[in-house]
Amino acid sequence: MEIWAPWETSRHARTIIGTDEQQQQRAVPPAPVEDAHDANDANDALGGTWIGPLACVRVVRRSRPDMAAFPHVWEAVEAFLDCSPSCSLAQAAAFGSMRLLRGISARSGAMAALDAFYKQAQFSGAMQHAAARGDVEMIRWLLTFQPGGLVTSAVEQAARNGHVRVLAWLKQHHDHVFWGANELRYAVEGNHAQAARWLQENTRPPSKLRAMNLAAANGNLELVQWLHQVRHEASSSAAAKAAKGGFLDVLKWMDKHSLCKLQGVPVEGAAAGGHLKVVKWLHKSGVGIATPRALDAAAANGHLEVWLHKNRSEGCTTAAMDQAAAGGHFEVLLFLHTKRSEGCSMDAAVNASRNEHVEILQWFFRFYPRMIHREKVIVFAKRYNYYLMDWLHRNYQASGERTVLAEINSSFYLTPPETEELTT
CATH number at residue 348: 1.25.40
pLDDT greater at residue 117 or residue 159: 159
Please give the Cα distance from 335 to 342 (Å, whole number).
12
| pLDDT classification of 132: cutoffs 50, 70, 90 | very high
Q: Could you tell me the pLDDT band of residue 83, with boundaries at 50, 70 and 90?
A: low
In the prediction, which pLDDT does 260 show? 65
Mean pLDDT of 327-347: 93
Q: Angle at CA 126, nearest 5°, toward 218 and 54? A: 120
User: Residue 30 has what DSSP assignment?
Assistant: P
Instruction: For residue 340, tell me if it sits in a domain.
Output: yes
Average predicted confidence (pLDDT) for the chain: 77
**Do the domain assignments include residue 27?**
no
Verdict on whether the full-model pTM lies above 0.95: no
**Pairwise pLDDT comparison (229 vs 388), residue with the higher score:** 229
Q: Looking at 29-38, 116-125, 356-365, 403-412, which range is the least confident one?
A: 29-38
Is residue 332, in this structure, part of any structural domain at all? yes
How many domains are contained in the chain?
1
Asked whether the predicted pLDDT for residue 416 surpasses 50, the reply is no
Q: What is the DSSP string of 351-400?
A: HHHHTT-HHHHHHHHHH-GGG--HHHHHHHHHHH-HHHHHHHHHHHHHHT
| Mean of pLDDT values over 240-252 | 93
User: Does residue 207 form part of some domain?
Assistant: no
Question: Residue 421's pLDDT band (boundaries 50, 70, 90)?
Answer: very low
Q: pLDDT tens digits, residue range 93-124?
A: 888 888 778 877 776 555 666 677 877 888 89
Give the pLDDT confidence score for residue 140 in this predicted structure.
93
Residue 334 within a domain: yes
Rounded to the nearest angstrom, the gap between the alpha carbon of residue 308 and the centroid of all alpha carbons in its chain is 33
- Examine residue 242 and state whether it is found in any structural domain, yes or no: no
Domain-embedded: residue 411: yes
The parent domain of residue 357 ranges over 291-424
CA-CA distance, 368 to 371, in Å (whole number)? 5
* Any domain includes 264: no
Instruction: Evaluate if residue 393 carries a pLDDT over 90.
Output: no
- Write down the pLDDT at residue 323: 94
